[in-house]
Chain A
């Protein structure tokens, strides 16, 4: 009888992942999957990843232009005990994203970073780009996405400007592969204009973003100057979704699962409804809107709902010359994450309705609990390779004038 060939297995360095695990090691499977799929030669643009800007808040407050607020913030961070970041609004302890610590990278990234020549967030972003095989990564803030509900609208302006100046100095100038969208303090339209005038030409800023959690109507006349500027400069406007526990329409929801499932969609459903029914795509035909982090399943629902209602009540939306769904599939772009994958036939129908081959852009949402790897697109069975290449990078390159040649090394 032949002896069974045996050799020792190699113990993996990390037996149990934690907040201290290196991002490259944690994403090793994604990196290896990308190599196996041959994605090194594909342009991959991640339109929505995050850093946790509040970790650096004691640095960011130095960038506040208002000297009174700057002095108050510096004093606050120096002396106030147990203080959350100065001026930030939000829900403090209602942060259940990691499911009780089951998903450690959502809680923190306490890994060792040796490189002191750049900000720590640059290194973490580079590691994420390597792990996910990404060429360019658009980085969004995190707690600031709640600022649209700030009771002091001027504070949103102050903090948006400080954050933008800090980001330019510390992230964008450190690595040309890191990109961002310019935060618009949407509660003060005139300040949105100033933001564009002051910062939109900075290298690394490739679009504009409106954090969607807010109660301002996107069709208000006060915003038309902002949209005209965005259209003229070729800057897409990205509506980044979020949730908040104070939303009265969601007041009965008692689990984060439900809050996240609905909240991250609800805000963009409302903005999209107003965007289309008030004819913004007709008024600004060259303006591109991008709908971020709401997943995709809501889009076919809203298309069907609005089309049916519009045909019965056309006189209420006289600016529209076509069906709402046609504006949504031709003037609007969507990011993929968190892509609903559990019902493949529904997903296929969604891809067809949104014209995914030209309108869909890959996003990871790293390091959040529901992040998607590029494999979620590369593995889709019902689209061809060109469609996958478009979604993973080429659509973004067209929309944001990025180079189409990959720059990553796996």
Chain B
């Protein structure tokens, strides 16, 4: 069974649609023009990760002399953060930035005639 989510034009950059497919929840995100679909289950404790806030990745530049001063945001990397406990995932790869083995489960995403479908 596949499920109709939205028209492709309805999800702008940085936006999402989190849907229930007969009880199985999937989040569809658009980042840098591309669409990604993840199951709404954090690998940590099954939290509703797709309903979390989106942050740019935090980085800490290290100067040539080994010192650091301030933290910064990486403008090119977007993290989805589980609202239960704060587990962060790169929206494009589904991987946790601190442990790539911790990763979201991808949902099958299809675009057909401008319509977005997912399979649970």
Binding site for B on A (CB under 8 A): 4-12, 14-17, 21, 26, 28-30, 33, 99-105, 369-373, 375-376
B contact face: mostly helix, strand, loop, or mixed = strand
- CA gap between A26 and B48 in the complex, in Å: 8
For A28, A103, A371, the residue with the greatest tally of chain B CB atoms inside 10 Å of its CB is: A103
A16 touches B51 (CB 8 A): yes
B19 touches A7 (CB 8 A): no
B117 touches A15 (CB 8 A): no
Closest to B55 in A: A102
Report if B85 contacts A (CB, 8 A): yes
A17 touches B83 (CB 8 A): yes
In the bound complex, residues from chain A placing their C-beta under 8 Å from that of B81 are: 99, 102-103
Q: Smallest Cβ distance from A102 to chain B, in angstroms?
A: 4
A370 touches B45 (CB 8 A): no
In the bound complex, residues from chain A placing their C-beta under 8 Å from that of B117 are: 6
Residues of B in contact with A, size category? 20 to 34
- CA gap between A186 and B50 in the complex, in Å: 45
Closest CB pairs A-B (n = 7):
A9-B19, A9-B3, A17-B83, A102-B81, A10-B20, A12-B18, A17-B51
- CA gap between A33 and B1 in the complex, in Å: 23
B4 touches A17 (CB 8 A): no
Q: Binary interface profile of B, 1-18, with partner A (CB < 8 Å = 1, else 0)?
A: 111110000000000111
B18 touches A8 (CB 8 A): no
Known contacts: A4-B2, A7-B1, A11-B18. The answer to whether A371 contacts B83 by CB under 8 A is no
A15 touches B17 (CB 8 A): yes
- CA gap between A92 and B86 in the complex, in Å: 23
B3 touches A6 (CB 8 A): yes
Closest to B41 in A: A29
Known contacts: A103-B84, A376-B45. The answer to whether A9 contacts B1 by CB under 8 A is no
For A29, A104, A372, A373, the residue with the greatest tally of chain B CB atoms inside 10 Å of its CB is: A29
B2 touches A6 (CB 8 A): yes
B86 touches A11 (CB 8 A): no
A12 touches B51 (CB 8 A): yes
A29 touches B46 (CB 8 A): yes
25 cross-chain CB contacts under 8 A: A5-B1, A7-B3, A8-B4, A9-B20, A9-B21, A9-B26, A11-B17, A15-B18, A16-B16, A16-B51, A17-B51, A17-B53, A17-B83, A26-B83, A26-B84, A29-B46, A102-B53, A102-B83, A103-B84, A104-B53, A104-B83, A369-B86, A372-B45, A373-B46, A376-B45
Q: Smallest Cβ distance from B62 to chain A, in angstroms?
A: 16
B48 touches which one: A28, A102, A103 (CB < 8 A)? A28
- CA gap between A8 and B4 in the complex, in Å: 5
A12 touches B20 (CB 8 A): yes
Report if B97 contacts A (CB, 8 A): no
Q: Smallest Cβ distance from B110 to chain A, in angstroms?
A: 9
A12 touches B46 (CB 8 A): no
- CA gap between A10 and B40 in the complex, in Å: 14
In the bound complex, residues from chain B placing their C-beta under 8 Å from that of A11 are: 17-20
In the bound complex, residues from chain A placing their C-beta under 8 Å from that of B16 are: 15-16
In the bound complex, residues from chain B placing their C-beta under 8 Å from that of A5 are: 1-2
Give the residues from 25 to 84 in chain B that come closer than 8 angstroms, CB to CB, to chain A: 25-26, 41, 45-48, 51-53, 55, 81, 83-84
- CA gap between A30 and B45 in the complex, in Å: 9
In the bound complex, residues from chain B placing their C-beta under 8 Å from that of A101 are: 53
Closest to A5 in B: B1
Report if B118 contacts A (CB, 8 A): yes
- CA gap between A373 and B45 in the complex, in Å: 7
In the bound complex, residues from chain A placing their C-beta under 8 Å from that of B83 are: 17, 21, 26, 102-105
Q: Smallest Cβ distance from A101 to chain B, in angstroms?
A: 7
Q: A30-B45, A100-B55, A375-B46 are in contact. List 8 more A-B contacts (CB 8 A).
A: A4-B2, A7-B1, A10-B20, A17-B83, A101-B53, A105-B83, A371-B84, A375-B45
In the bound complex, residues from chain B placing their C-beta under 8 Å from that of A10 are: 19-21
